[in-house]
Structure 1
């Protein structure tokens, strides 16, 4: 009886260790999947924003914003015009996104994704900015969509040392454009 009990305890310890190790692996895989998902969503949102800016499609860009952001942003049409005019007749020819950050997860909603992006215009000028959007919110669908575009008419290297991204840091929806020259 004693040998049977010891054998069962050993078997239980081996199984519990295996399950614990599998749980750690699953968490690592889950984080990897979430990061890949966030990267894909950020790249997709950047492509849409760039497409509408390049095509001067104000309505298309406006529709990217969540319904709640559209209600909260004062003079959204005017801000979109200002954003479209920032590039002038130049097209955005290159976009790079740094690794986005998020609040929430694939299982905890709302899932909001924020990331820095860099783009280059056809005239060679480089701009830096931030995009923030809500990707998932099953309880409040009006929050899903673009929340903030914040852009500076210069590269990271041209930003003043004390520069603050006030739109992203405030959490307020909108289009925020900073002129450094």
Structure 2
């Protein structure tokens, strides 16, 4: 009887702590809230063409590993056209690691952004919390494409996991 009770408590806890959707309803709302807050910061930096604000969103690890962050920011500011009319989360998923009381939460979010000139898709990898490796906390990946290019410019998230801002090869 005690084993069944412990197992039931374990399974219930695992279900409650799961960060995915259940029946179209978000179980862990904090991650969605973090994703929305991050997108507002990204769009504000783009609107203001604030290079330093954009770079400040990235983790130290991403900035160290990226080829040329300044070039990526310049590319993004030139590529993104128009005033934002609307944006929404298209999909999101997360991964969590816990080790010796320390935690890392990686959030992967796809957004649809519509401006008065174009429709874009954003893909973001954001370590919203990382006490395992504090240099990893912040944005790791930002990929912005025209929505019409989704088939050729988007793929599996693992293939899009690059440090910094995506810039297609010319």
Structure showing greater radius of gyration is 1
Q: Across the two proteins, how many residue pairs are aligned to each other?
A: 161
Q: Is the 8 A contact 1:98 1:116 kept in 2?
A: yes
Instruction: Tell me the equivalent position of 2:126.
Output: 133
* TM score, norm. by length of structure 1: 0.75
Which one of the candidate residues 79, 84, 88 is aligned to 1:96? Answer: 88
Residue 48 of structure 1 pairs with residue 41 of structure 2: yes
RMSD: 2.8
> Over residues 134-167 of structure 1, what are the superposed CA-to-partner deviations in whole Å (9 max), with x where a residue is unaligned?
1222132111111111111x22xx2364544488
- Where does structure 1 lack aligned partners over 5 or more consecutive residues? 1-12
Q: Is the 8 A contact 1:148 1:167 kept in 2?
A: no
Instruction: Tell me the equivalent position of 2:55.
Output: 62
- Where does structure 2 lack aligned partners over 5 or more consecutive residues? 20-25
Instruction: Tell me the equivalent position of 2:79.
Output: 86
User: 3-state DSSP class of the match of 1:100?
Assistant: strand
Q: How does 1:1-181 map to 2 (within 5 A)?
A: 13=1, 17-31=4-18, 35-88=28-81, 90-104=82-96, 109-123=103-117, 125-152=118-145, 154-155=146-147, 158-159=148-149, 161-165=151-155, 169-178=159-168
Instruction: Tell me the equivalent position of 2:23.
Output: none
Q: Greater share of strand residues, 1 or 2?
A: 2
